[in-house]
Amino acid sequence: MLRTILTVICLVTMSLSFAINCLAEEAIKEKNPEVGDTVELEDGLKYTLLKTGNGEVCKSGQVLKVHYTGTLEDGTKFDSSLDRKQPLEVTIGAGDVIKGWDKGIPGMKVGEKRKLVIPSALAYGEKGIGVIPPNSTLIFEVELLEIKQ
């Protein structure tokens, strides 16, 4: 009987230890994703690391220079700074861009490239805008080129 109880306690302890380690690894991965890793935030925004950066980490309130391409879920391109051959300069976290950018770009390093999958609630919502239909999930590939001082 005592042996059975000790065996059960050991198994429960090992299971809890394994679960805690898995959660810790996920938390580390979210803060330090590797190329190809996808992180989903609580509001439904997802980002995938496409290329690592080696520079400074950007924060809300900073002026950034980025290249980007925006597409709909069906692959239709609706905008691209690359096509214009001119990066976008934007203050991130100031409400100058859609909420999905304000939430998905902070934490990027200079040189990093991410794919943001932005639910409509963090983009243009029920109204849409221009060629972007209402309730559209938007996909952006964003490369952080520079943090302006």
By three-state DSSP, how is residue 67 classified? strand
Q: Is 18 a catalytic residue?
A: no
140 noted as active-site residue: yes
Q: Give CA torsion, residues 36, 102, 89, 32, to 10 deg.
A: -30
98 is catalytic: yes
- Active-site hit among 47, 92, 105, 124: 124
Strands 88-91 and 77-80: unpaired
Among residues 98, 105, 118, 147, the one annotated as catalytic is 98
Q: Which of 47, 68, 105, 139 is catalytic?
A: 68
**Dist CA 20 CA 119 (whole Å):** 30
* Residue 79 appears among annotated catalytic residues: yes
| DSSP code, position 43 | T
From the list 92, 102, 132, 140, the catalytic residue is: 140
Q: CA-to-CA distance for 61 and 41, rounded, in angstroms?
A: 20
* Amino acid in the structure at residue 66: V
Q: What are the residue numbers of the active site?
A: 68, 78-79, 98, 124, 140
